[in-house]
Every structure is written in C-alpha cells, then in structure tokens.
C-alpha cells in the first residue's frame, strides 16, 4: 500500500520537557520512532518539528525533516503545514505516528494504514486492551469506546465507560494509541473546521473529527510492548524493551 509516515515532534512539553530527545536504549526517542516507521513499508518518512535540535538530529540520521511554526494545538495541525508546503495530492494516505509511540511494530503501522481503505472510513487508528486500575484512571492514558463495527464513539482522558463501583469486567476498557491514518484531503478539511469545545476540554485532537461526524475505525490488538511515553515512568518501561 502507498502511504507516507509523518512524525510530528514538538520539543516543549509541560508533562515531559524535551521528550523527543529522551533516550530509549541509548538512542533518542525520535530516532526509535523513525526506526519503527522504517519497518512499516512506508514509501516516505517525514518528521515535522518546531525546533532546531530535533531538526539537526533527524537530518544527521538521514531522515527527511521540516521545521514548522511553533504554535499548534495538535500533531495533525503541525502536519498540515508540511502537507500544504509539499502540495500532496488529496488522495495521498498519511500515517500520523506520534513521536511518543516508539514501540509500535512496523506491521501494525502498515495495518492501520490498510484499514483506511478496508473499512471505508475517514480515519483509522489503534487501541489496546487495558485492565490495570491505575491505567484506566490515568488521565495520561486516553480511553476509547467503540460501536459494534469497531468505530469510535468517544475518546476521553476519564474512565470510559464509567462504572459505579469496581465490580466490573475490565476487559471492556481500551487504551488509545497515538497513530492515525487519513488522507491529505481530510487533513485540509480538519484545519478548515477549527477547534471545538470538547477538543479543548479533553485536549484530544480526534474529538474534532467525531464532532463533525467523521468515522474513525479503531483497530484493536493486544500488543504487550506498546508503551506510549507520556511520563518519565513510561520512559523507564519503554527502556526495558530496547
């Protein structure tokens, strides 16, 4: 399948300063994420960053990189600038692989891209089952609920579905993983819509997509080594796999 992996990499972060440069197994996180993308079969890998440090590191690695404006709400918005600059065709499939997802296997990246056509949706993404109470309650761990067809109903930093007590089947909880496949045309449309209230409240870019009635298919797989690096604690967990 013909797709391009784009990695938005913002240096500053309130929760984890300089996160893309944090080392995992002796290599900066951004390089680990690029290596995962290289195993996906993508025809092109592009990093979109706001900082010279990341730009220089990625260039030294031999990967295509562009410096973008510093203020964006999300990775999708940052990618738009590069897509517009490079004048991608509307039908070009783009996989937005977030920089803090260095552990996603290459075959999963390819599968998420393939789901875009197979499921006839606007966007495809990934989730993994979670059953630990701390993960379910952790606001850094984004949860998603889906319908019978695997399409997203809602994403939240809160526990969804909510339950009255702890006598519940934890198998129903899904953790959203930071990867999206969509077409360049969709990203252009996303920017025209502009931010919406639920997106601002939850600080989740995908809620803008749902708000405007776009269909998001959620590929669900059990991937034990899929560690999203949002905190220093996550970084320690990720280091165990490299």
Name the DSSP letter for residue 170: G
In a domain, 113, yes or no: yes
Domains of the chain: total: 1
In a domain, 240, yes or no: no
The Cβ-side half-sphere exposure at 31, using a 13 Å CA radius, reads 17
The CA distance from 219 to 111, in Å, is 8
What percent of the chain lies above the pLDDT cut of 70? Answer: 97
In a domain, 184, yes or no: yes
Can you give the pLDDT at residue 16?
A: 83
pTM for this prediction: 0.94
In a domain, 238, yes or no: no
* Tokens found for residue 7: 């990695």
In a domain, 80, yes or no: yes
With a cut of 70, list the residues of the chain below it in pLDDT: 14, 165-171
Can you give the pLDDT at residue 15?
A: 74
Can you give the pLDDT at residue 163?
A: 80
Return the bridge partners of 154, or none: 145
Can you give the pLDDT at residue 94?
A: 98
196 φ, ψ to 5°? Answer: -125, 165
In a domain, 235, yes or no: no
| Residue 38, domain CATH | 3.90.550.10
Can you give the pLDDT at residue 226?
A: 86
Can you give the pLDDT at residue 83?
A: 96
Can you give the pLDDT at residue 171?
A: 65
Burial 5-44 (b: 16+ CB within 10 A, else e): bbbbbbbeeeebeebbbbebeeebbbbbbbbbbeebebee
Alpha helices, DSSP H, located in the chain: 29-38, 52-61, 75-86, 106-118, 133-137, 184-193, 197-202, 206-211, 232-239
Domain that holds residue 76: 3-226
Count H helices and E strands in the chain, helices first: 9, 11
pLDDT tens, residue by residue, 155-194: 999 999 988 765 556 568 999 999 999 999 999 999 999 9
Q: Are strands 44-49 and 174-183 parallel, antiparallel or unpaired?
A: unpaired
Can you give the pLDDT at residue 170?
A: 59
In a domain, 35, yes or no: yes
Can you give the pLDDT at residue 58?
A: 97
């Amino acid at each position: 399948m013909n797709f391009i992996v784009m990695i938005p990499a913002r240096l500053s972060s309130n929760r984890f300063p300089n996160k893309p440069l944090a080392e995992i197994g002796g290599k900066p996180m951004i390089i680990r994420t690029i290596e995962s993308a290289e195993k996906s079969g993508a025809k092109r890998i592009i990093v979109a960053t706001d900082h010279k440090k990341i730009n220089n590191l990625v260039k030294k690695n031999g990967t295509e990189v562009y410096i973008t404006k510093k203020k964006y709400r999300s990775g999708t918005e940052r990618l738009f600038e590069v897509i517009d600059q490079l004048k991608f065709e509307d039908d070009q499939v783009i996989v937005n692989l977030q920089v803090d997802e260095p552990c996603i296997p290459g075959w999963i990246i390819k599968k998420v891209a393939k789901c875009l056509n197979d499921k006839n949706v606007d966007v495809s993404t990934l989730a993994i089952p979670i059953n630990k109470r701390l993960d379910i309650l952790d606001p850094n761990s984004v949860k998603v609920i889906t319908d019978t067809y695997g399409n997203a109903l809602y994403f939240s930093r809160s526990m969804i579905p909510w339950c009255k007590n702890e006598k519940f089947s934890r198998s129903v909880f899904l953790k959203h993983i930071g990867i999206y496949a969509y077409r360049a045309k969709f990203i252009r449309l996303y920017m025209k819509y502009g931010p919406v209230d639920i997106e601002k409240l939850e600080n989740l870019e995908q809620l803008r997509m749902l708000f405007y009635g776009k269909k998001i298919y959620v590929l669900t797989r059990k991937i034990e080594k899929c560690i999203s690096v949002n905190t220093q604690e996550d970084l320690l967990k990720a280091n165990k796999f490299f």
